[in-house]
Amino acid sequence: LLYAGVVDGARIVLFHDGLRLVRYAEPEHGTSGAALDFARVDGATGPESGAVVVDRADGNVRYLTAPWVTGAALRDLLEPSAAPRRLARSRDGVTAPFPSPAVSASCTAWNALALTDDGSTRLVTDLGELVPARLTAGRPDAPREARPGDWAATACSLGAARSHGVRTVNSWAYARQPLPEGAGEARWVCARAETWRGGGPRTLALFR
């Protein structure tokens, strides 16, 4: 049992059996509209096990953060220079609600959750699953934890990975070239998603 409590007027229970996460939710008063969700999380490492979705309501999402998480903040990937916005957490580790990019029809902002533990900060984002996707950057054979600036130009491409069981997404700017007539510099970026199912990555080449 990971969690049991009332959040946003719903009774929520979260279980983990070592391979899967299970979330059961029902209204605080009555059982109409009860929901049962499953997610595969076998082999989850520390960076991938820092948070799990507790509730979604009115376009917002709340997370249950792991006991070893010491801080949570909100980062807009489209505004990498903006200061982190601290997220309040309950004594149980449940965050305050914030707008989820997984349900937004537009891309005027893309929220990521910055989780801090032992002095390290990792970015994850909601792609419509029980577990947020970890964001990394750099060469696929040696990725590092992403910074907001790594995704500033390509965050909106994450929409293509919604609800596909994505475990991690890596952004790699693998080539640069000058544009004709001194019009600036172009970047070739590869967005590479790994799923919990395995079976090889899914890639998307972007030209900026």
**Longest Cα pair distance anywhere in the chain, in angstroms?**
67
How much is the pTM?
Answer: 0.90
Identify residue 57 by its one-letter amino acid code: A
Q: Mean pLDDT, the chain, as a whole number?
A: 90
What is the average per-residue pLDDT within 153-174? 90
Q: What is the pLDDT of residues 56-88, one digit of tens each?
A: 999 999 999 999 999 999 999 999 999 999 999
Q: Answer whether residue 123 is part of any domain.
A: yes
pLDDT at 51 > cutoff 70: yes
Averaged pLDDT for residues 22-45: 88
Please report whether residue 48 resides in a domain.
no
H or E element that contains 47? none
105-118 b/e (C-beta count within 10 Å ≥ 16 → b): eeeeebbbbbbebe
Residue 184 Rama label (left phi>0; alpha psi -120 to 50; beta): left
With a cut of 60, say whether residue 207 has pLDDT above it.
no
Query: Over 80: is that where the pLDDT of 116 sits?
Result: yes
Ranges 3-12, 43-52, 189-198, most confident: 3-12
* Residue range(s) defining the domain that contains residue 149: 61-207
Give the residue-averaged pLDDT of 148-154.
Answer: 92
Residue 52 lies in a domain: no
**Per-residue model confidence (pLDDT) at position 78:** 96
pLDDT at position 200: 64
119-124 mean pLDDT: 92
Does residue 8 sit within a domain?
no
pLDDT score, position 15: 95
Measured between alpha carbons, how far is residue 28 from residues 12, 113, 141 in Å?
Answer: 9, 28, 47
User: Does 177 fall in a domain?
Assistant: yes
Strands, E, within 41-110: which ranges?
A: 51-57, 60-65, 71-76, 85-86, 98-99
| 45, part of any domain | no
pLDDT at residue number 201: 63
Question: Is residue 28 a part of any domain in this protein?
Answer: no
The whole-number pLDDT of residue 202 equals 63
pLDDT at position 206: 56
Question: Which one, of 192, 85, 203, lies nearest residue 134 by Cα?
Answer: 192
Give strand pairing partners of 193. 169, 202
187 is a domain residue: yes
Q: Name the H helices within the chain.
A: none
- The predicted structure's pLDDT at residue 203: 60
Kindly report, residue by residue over 13-30, the tens digit of the pLDDT: 999 998 899 999 999 987
CB count in 10 Å sphere of residue 204: 15
Nearest to 71 by CA among 61, 84, 82: 84
Question: For the chain, how many structural domains are there in total?
Answer: 1
